[in-house]
Amino acid sequence: MIVARTLQELEGAIAGSCVTIGNFDGVHLGHQKLIDQTCRRARAQGLVSVVVTFEPHPLRVLLGSRTPPFITLMEQKLELIGSLGPNVTLVLNFTREMAALSPDEFVREYLVRGLSVRELIIGYDYAMGKGRSGNYETLKVLGRTYGFRVERLEPVTLGDAVVSSTRIRDMVQAGEVWEARPLLGRFYQVRGEVIQGHNRGGKLLGFPTANLRLVDELVPQTGVYAVWVEVDDAVLPGVANIGTNPTFGNTAVSVEAHIMNFKGDLYGRRIRVHFVQRLRSERKFENLDALRARIQADIDLAGRILSEPEAQPATLPREATRSGPGT
């Protein structure tokens, strides 16, 4: 997949395209359907398949710090989009000046002149341009004017509700990572660099942990989770704690993962933690022996959960469920 940041990078490379456009926060099942349909239609008509997205996220430009945490930042978003097979992803720099463009101005400049669009595929609730005036009906009129076809896809639903970034965000923040998985088509993940912690896990408790300096904005609710930890090309079972470690009187929230039966130095390396199921809330223990016993129980339970077929990292669930595996 070609990733371009300006139209100039694509000049002369696209004679005709099938385009989908959006923010694609989470690249969830609804987004996947849009991108898949774009690729299919492009192949059928000999066109270039193009995904258009924005950085920064338009809400961040328009609302500043009042925006909710995003599910996927650009690095992961591009990885996920690329795995779906489009020829090109165009990441446009979103500015207040771009937000002020009318739908006609945006379509003419970016889609018609820039991408030679022949087909435009949009989501059920998509709108573009100043005041979000560029809805489906407006885009159909512009399509007739400039010679491209517009297709609007119906929403994807699971559990009698529409799959949306807001729904997924609410689930993750509530610790419902198992329930969020069918909507994403994968486990929710965070990534970061392993940094030096207090070393209590290894020295005091006998369960060494990798402490993360997070890259991602959205963090699941505090508590203990069964997880898969991705280190280079290996995906290893583990238990992660999100919280303040109240037994030791901490106040800052941290993410740390114990990788089962792993020995090695991870300091300075980037890893990913894929959240499978929340095991329990974080709590304060009366002494270290009680904490050790509970950590071992958590590891045993996580091992049983992660050994089940539906909890494997490469397995996609067929439908949403309200309870996790092994519980």
Q: What is the pLDDT of residues 179-203, one digit of tens each?
A: 999 999 999 999 999 998 655 544 5
SS3 content of the chain, % helix, strand, coil (to 5): 35, 25, 40
Summarised one tens digit per residue, pLDDT across range 199-221 is 554 454 668 899 999 999 999 99
Summarised one tens digit per residue, pLDDT across range 154-169 is 999 998 899 999 999 9
Instruction: State the DSSP H helix or E strand holding residue 18, giving kind and residue range, or none if neither.
Output: strand 17-21
Most confident stretch, 109-123, 183-197, 259-273: 109-123
Asked if residue 319 has pLDDT above 80, the reply is no
287, 148: one domain: no
* Amino acid type, 57: H
Average pLDDT over residues 288-312: 93
Class of residue 184 by CB neighbours under 10 A (exposed 0-12, middle 13-18, buried 19+)? buried
Residues 6+ apart with CB under 8 A from 231: 259, 266, 269, 271
Give domain status of residue 169, yes or no: no
Which residue has tokens 């045993």? 300
CATH number of the domain enclosing 256 = 2.40.30.30
222, 291: one domain: yes
Sign of the dihedral defined by the CA atoms of residues 28, 34, 39, 44, in that order: positive
15, 91: one domain: yes
CATH number of the domain enclosing 46 = 3.40.50.620
28, 100: one domain: yes
Give domain status of residue 51, yes or no: yes
Sign of the dihedral defined by the CA atoms of residues 2, 7, 13, 18, in that order: positive
Q: What are phi and psi of 226, to 5 degrees?
A: -80, 130
Q: What is the pLDDT of residue 200?
A: 55
Distance, in Å, from the CA atom of 135 to the CA atom of 150, rounded to the nearest integer, reads 11
133, 60: one domain: yes
**Total count of domains within the chain:** 2
Q: How confident is the model at residue 65 (pLDDT cuts 50, 70, 90)?
A: confident
Residue at a domain's end among 155, 171, 196: 155
Summarised one tens digit per residue, pLDDT across range 45-61 is 999 999 999 999 999 99
Q: What are phi and psi of 280, to 5 degrees?
A: -170, 170
Containing domain of residue 62, as a range? 2-155
Give domain status of residue 162, yes or no: no
How far does CA 75 lie from the centroid of its chain? 10
Give domain status of residue 57, yes or no: yes
